[in-house]
């Protein structure tokens, strides 16, 4: 449609102080799906899983044409200076982001040629022993030529808070083989505005930042947010190093070494697209620009997204269709594998912030490494706790003094002295040479107090060590060990804390006013530097978001299982930025951080996907996702079914048997994923078919966001060819089909078996099939309601091959009467 012929030019508008950011999508296809016919411009569309040739004259001329149409619409509707266009989107969606008033947004909504107008919403971060835990050095890296070739020429793009380029995890010289020019990547490298040095070095191959929406919203502060790819937060450096950091980097803090860090694909290249910032997170308009304008344009192979919405975007009726997910659908169509963090809203159901079938949604696991410590009291009682610290001197006990008992006059009244955040309010003479007892208040949960600051206070006062006591705990409170330069321990069990407090009160003599006459409580702190390896690993972390997946914002269940897969995400050592502020315990100056979140799980999958892509460069994103899912495990190291952290009735953390709503298909198994035997492949038309057959999604809305007419070939969304089966509303009997392709080098015969919890009967057909190399076969699964329980039933379908391959699909279904 030619906008210039349709717009009435008598609209006028005045700039409003209530201006906000809006994402506008337009009629007319973006580059990825344009088939020709607009003013003589030739087609630029790509086939499913094919990269866009952004250097061709066809693409660049059509891109200029789309941008002119965006500018023409705004120029004809509004007076100059009354609005600001922030970005033009041309590659994956056709539209733009603009800073306009609500009245102007309404005028845009009514203007011919405009398909949708969505108010921007915020996103947030979903915040190295793992290579060994996952078997990479012994079972995976050798197949690709060793760690110094693992991920060769694969480009992983990170939409995050930037990167600290001077960290050894990203050094180009830390390799036996120098990095040469990349054969196809076309990204740019910004310069540091102060040093004028490039952010790129061969290992880091692209570095750009996106902040136009943040600036327009008044949220951007160049003094702390850095108008460059520099990581002012720490989060971006941490995630990049997990996926693609150099191998064998010593993790040193406070004079101790905690092992050596490595990325999953240490030879992969890193492309940085900074769109997240330390105080406010980010804006979808900036994130979409990072993906549409640059990452896919530049030619990344993998996208790692440790980012999700603050709240579900309410501008679309379905979770699957909004500018963010529509952009990612375009990225997948262009052959880019997308890994996204599931979210940190667990352990409660329906807390996922990653919904769509074209995205690989990653849940977080606890691996086998735990950091434990103990405090031994003078009465012989030993109290368990956590603390990454050295011990007090062996065979010696120290007096213990409470912060509340060593105040300097009334100086502590302005603060909470038991937090031990300010050494100047405590009496050094009474603390020196003793163990300082501090209270773990809500300030630690809120981030205004930190264990790092407690350690600094204790050291400044000459204490022999410190103990942090948790007297009450709120559901959701997460306790992680923090490296300390002096002996220290956090007592997290409230009952153990009470034992310590009782012992201290009984042994400490006071005068009639309550002042201490003599400190007689004694204790010693154990060595917490060495990890303890647990056979119960992996376990689903308490914070990891849970299913069921939802298809709309009234939280109706979707016929699509999420999360997709489980990966390490708890207590992950990785690189940190010297400007880092994302975690109070790792503020500026630290080189590494030990932190938890599904933010840490997603880059594990991004890096492992890079290894699969390296071995199978022609595989589609869906094929890579399938290989990861069907070869994952639901058994822990002790041979038992996976367990998940959950709250008991008394709100203490306990372990329960995990379900696919906790872990998806299971915990990732990288070596098996390189040779899955069978894959469940899917392309762009399959994703459109899933959307079109999902009840409640308007076909017009689908066309608006995808520029593609509906197809109904799969009839029901449960028939979408993904390596899982989910039916949220099973009435009587339903049969679903799946298509598998043999990606092994030889023909193989598979026997197909199934099992299901008693409320649902399950049958598979055929019971066995032979699949030639490169060929595809279809099988069906029939589910029948035996009893209506009001809860989901869980099961699996297993295809066991005659040459040793094993492929497993999780099955979830809820029986309904009608």
Active site residues: 160, 235, 599
Phi, psi of 267 (to 5 degrees): -100, -5
- H runs (alpha helix) in 78-186: 102-110, 130-133
Q: What is the dihedral of CA 521, 522, 525, 526, to 10 degrees?
A: -130
Which helix (H) or strand (E) is 451 found in, with range? helix 451-460
Phi, psi of 438 (to 5 degrees): -125, 160
Q: How far apart are CA 731 and CA 574, in angstroms?
A: 48
Residues 6+ apart with CB under 8 A from 336: 157, 295, 296, 300, 301, 302, 303, 621
Do residues 390 and 465 make contact, with C-beta atoms less than 8 angstroms apart? Answer: no
Which helix (H) or strand (E) is 361 found in, with range? strand 360-366
Q: How far apart are CA 460 and CA 453, in angstroms?
A: 10
* Adjacent-strand bridge partners of 269: 155
Do residues 424 and 432 make contact, with C-beta atoms less than 8 angstroms apart? Answer: no
DSSP 461: T
The three-class DSSP label of residue 416 is coil
Token readout for 72 is: 């023409």
Phi, psi of 405 (to 5 degrees): -100, 0
* Adjacent-strand bridge partners of 567: 364
* Adjacent-strand bridge partners of 305: 159, 340
Residue in the structure block whose two tokens are 């330069």: 485
Q: Could you please report the per-residue DSSP string of 605-638?
A: HHHHHHHHHHH-TT--HHHHHHHHHHT-BSB-TT
Q: How far apart are CA 494 and CA 418, in angstroms?
A: 17
Nearest residue to 747 (alpha-carbon basis) of 775, 777, 767, 725:
775
Q: How far apart are CA 365 and CA 362, in angstroms?
A: 10
Residue 744 CB: number of other CB atoms within 10 A?
17
Residue in the structure block whose two tokens are 């009893």: 787
Residue 495 CB: number of other CB atoms within 10 A?
9
Largest CA distance in the chain: 95
Residues 6+ apart with CB under 8 A from 389: 373, 455, 465, 483, 484, 485, 486, 487, 488, 489, 525, 528, 529
Do residues 742 and 772 make contact, with C-beta atoms less than 8 angstroms apart? Answer: yes
Exposure letters 767-800 (e unless 16+ CB within 10 A, then b):
eebebeeeeebebebebbbeeeeeebbbbbbbbb
The three-class DSSP label of residue 310 is coil
């Amino acid at each position: 449609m030619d906008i210039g012929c349709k717009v009435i030019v008598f609209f006028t508008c005045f700039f409003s102080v209530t201006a906000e950011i809006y994402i506008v999508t337009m009629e007319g296809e973006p580059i990825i799906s344009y088939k020709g016919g607009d003013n003589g411009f030739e087609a630029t569309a790509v086939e499913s899983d094919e990269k866009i040739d952004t250097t061709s004259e066809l693409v660049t001329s059509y891109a200029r044409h789309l941008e002119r149409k965006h500018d023409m619409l705004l120029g004809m509707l509004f007076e100059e200076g009354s609005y600001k266009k922030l970005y033009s989107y041309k590659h994956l969606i056709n539209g733009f982001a603009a800073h306009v008033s609500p009245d102007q947004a309404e005028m845009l909504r009514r203007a011919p040629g405009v398909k949708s107008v969505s108010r921007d919403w915020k996103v947030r971060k979903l915040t190295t022993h793992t290579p060994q835990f996952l078997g990479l050095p012994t079972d995976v890296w050798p197949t690709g030529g060793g760690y110094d070739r693992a991920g060769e020429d694969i480009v992983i793009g990170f939409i995050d808070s930037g990167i600290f380029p001077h960290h050894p995890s990203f050094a180009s010289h830390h390799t036996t083989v120098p990095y040469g020019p990349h054969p196809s990547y076309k990204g740019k490298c910004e310069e540091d505005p102060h040093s004028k040095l490039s952010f790129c070095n061969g290992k880091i191959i692209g570095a750009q930042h996106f902040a136009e929406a943040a600036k327009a919203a008044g949220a951007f502060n160049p003094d702390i947010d850095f108008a460059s790819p520099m990581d002012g937060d720490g989060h971006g450096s941490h995630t990049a190093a997990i996926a693609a950091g150099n191998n064998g980097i010593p993790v040193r803090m406070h004079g101790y070494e905690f092992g050596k860090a490595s990325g999953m694909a240490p030879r992969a290249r890193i492309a940085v697209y900074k769109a997240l910032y330390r105080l406010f997170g980010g804006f979808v308009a900036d994130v979409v620009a990072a993906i549409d304008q640059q990452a896919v344009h530049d030619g990344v192979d993998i996208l790692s997204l440790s980012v999700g919405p603050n709240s579900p975007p309410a501008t679309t009726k379905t979770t699957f269709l909004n500018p963010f997910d529509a952009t990612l659908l375009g990225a997948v169509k262009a052959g880019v594998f997308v890994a996204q963090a599931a979210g940190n809203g667990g352990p409660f159901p329906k807390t996922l912030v990653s919904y769509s079938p074209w995205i690989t949604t990653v849940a977080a696991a606890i691996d086998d490494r735990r950091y434990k410590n103990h405090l031994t009291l003078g009465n012989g009682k030993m109290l368990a706790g956590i603390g990454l610290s050295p011990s007090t001197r062996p065979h010696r006990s120290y007096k213990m003094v409470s912060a509340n008992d060593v105040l300097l006059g009334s100086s502590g009244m302005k603060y909470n002295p038991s937090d031990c955040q300010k050494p100047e309010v405590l009496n050094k003479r009474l603390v020196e040479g003793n163990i300082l007892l501090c209270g773990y208040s809500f300030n630690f949960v809120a981030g205004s107090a930190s264990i790092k600051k407690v350690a600094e206070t204790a050291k400044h006062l000459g204490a022999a060590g410190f103990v942090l006591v948790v007297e009450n705990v709120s559901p959701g409170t997460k306790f992680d060990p923090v490296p300390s330069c002096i002996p220290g321990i956090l007592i997290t069990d409230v009952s153990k804390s009470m034992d310590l407090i009782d012992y201290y009160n009984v042994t400490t003599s006071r005068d009639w006013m309550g002042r201490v006459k003599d400190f007689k409580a004694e204790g010693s702190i154990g060595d917490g530097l060495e990890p303890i390896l647990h056979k119960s690993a992996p376990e689903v972390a308490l914070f990891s978001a849970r299913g069921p997946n939802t298809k709309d914002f009234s939280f109706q269940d979707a016929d699509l299982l999420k999360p997709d897969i489980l990966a390490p995400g708890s207590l992950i050592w990785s690189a940190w930025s010297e400007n880092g502020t994302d975690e109070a315990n790792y503020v500026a100056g630290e080189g590494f951080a030990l932190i938890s979140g599904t933010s840490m799980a997603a880059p594990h999958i991004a890096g492992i996907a890079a290894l699969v892509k390296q071995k199978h460069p022609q595989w589609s994103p869906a094929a890579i996702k399938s290989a990861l899912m069907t070869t994952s495990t639901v058994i822990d190291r002790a041979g038992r079914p996976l367990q998940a952290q959950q709250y008991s009735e008394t709100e203490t953390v306990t372990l329960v048997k995990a379900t696919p709503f906790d872990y998806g298909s299971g915990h990732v198994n990288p070596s098996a994923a390189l040779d899955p035997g069978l894959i469940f492949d899917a392309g762009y038309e399959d994703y459109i078919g899933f959307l079109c057959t999902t009840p409640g999604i308007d076909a017009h809305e689908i066309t608006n966001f995808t520029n593609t007419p509906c197809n109904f070939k799969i009839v029901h969304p449960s028939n979408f060819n993904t390596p899982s089966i989910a039916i949220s509303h099973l009435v009587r009997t339903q049969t679903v089909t799946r298509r598998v392709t043999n990606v092994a080098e030889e023909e193989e015969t598979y026997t197909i078996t199934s099992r299901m919890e008693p409320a649902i009967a399950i049958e598979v057909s055929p019971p066995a099939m032979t699949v030639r190399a490169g060929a595809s076969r279809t099988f069906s699964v029939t589910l029948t309601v035996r009893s209506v329980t009001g809860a989901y039933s869980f099961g699996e379908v297993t295809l066991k091959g005659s040459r040793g391959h094993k492929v497993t699909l999780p099955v979830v279904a809820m029986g309904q009467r009608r």
